[in-house]
Every structure is written in structure tokens, then in C-alpha cells.
Amino acid sequence: MSNVIPNPKRIVRVNIEQEKVRTAVKVLAKHVQPTKLTIENDIMNYYQFQSAAKGLDTGMFLEVCLHKVDNDKTDIHIEVRRVFGHINTIAEIDDAWGFVNGFTNMMGKALRGEIS
């Protein structure tokens, strides 16, 4: 029996309107390699990136949901999960958190206009 480790999750609140955050998420699809945007749902404010990770042989998904707090604040919910099965080793959790941290860093750059 293997241990199941909870999927890495992060919520970041930014003082930026939701539409600008949505645009930044889409910009990242061009710049975060070897990741690709596999689901882009503007109605549900849901975006899914897929990446082949060295520690996860089946790859992983990074899911992003945007939640409007008010006109100039948006919560960005980020979660990483395996394509198949569950995260169950320290190496996998390290890779998953690396994906979350890298995405968060790149998102900050996109929101500041450093990448377009």
C-alpha cells in the first residue's frame, strides 16, 4: 500500500482585475516550456497546463482557477496533480512544488509586464 500525499495547492491574491490576470495566464502558455495549455475555459475561469516532469513518468497537470474578489482583486487558485494516480513520493512532491513555485514566479512576471 502506498502513501498518498495531498496535491500541492496555493492561493495567491493579487490587486489586479480578473481580466488582466486571465490574459497573463494565457501569456504563460507561450513561455513555460515544456508545458502546454490543454484546457482554456474563460467562462469557468479554469485553465489547465500539462507538463512532462522528470520525477513523474506520466507527467502532471497544473490547474488554475481565477476567482474575482472585487473589481480590482483576484484570487488565483493553483493545484498540481499527476496525470494518472496520486503523488506518493518525496521526489514527486518536490517536482510538483517546483512546478507550483515556477508557475507562481512566471505569473508575477507576466502580471508585471516583464513577459508578453
Bridge-partner residues for 48, per DSSP?
39, 63
> 59: closest CA among 92, 88, 31, 89?
92
Q: CB–CB of 62/47 below 8 Å?
A: no
Which pLDDT score, from 0 to 100, does residue 40 have? 95
Calculate the CA dihedral of residues 68, 113, 115, 54 and round it to 10 degrees: -40
**Count of residues in the chain:** 116
Which pLDDT score, from 0 to 100, does residue 54 have? 53
79-97 pLDDT, tens digit per residue, is: 999 888 788 788 888 888 9
- The domains located in the chain, with CATH, are 9-111 (3.30.310.80)
Task: Give every residue of the chain whose pLDDT is below 70, as ranges.
Answer: 1-3, 32-34, 52-58
Cut 0.85: pTM above it:
yes
Which pLDDT score, from 0 to 100, does residue 1 have? 47
Bridge-partner residues for 36, per DSSP?
50
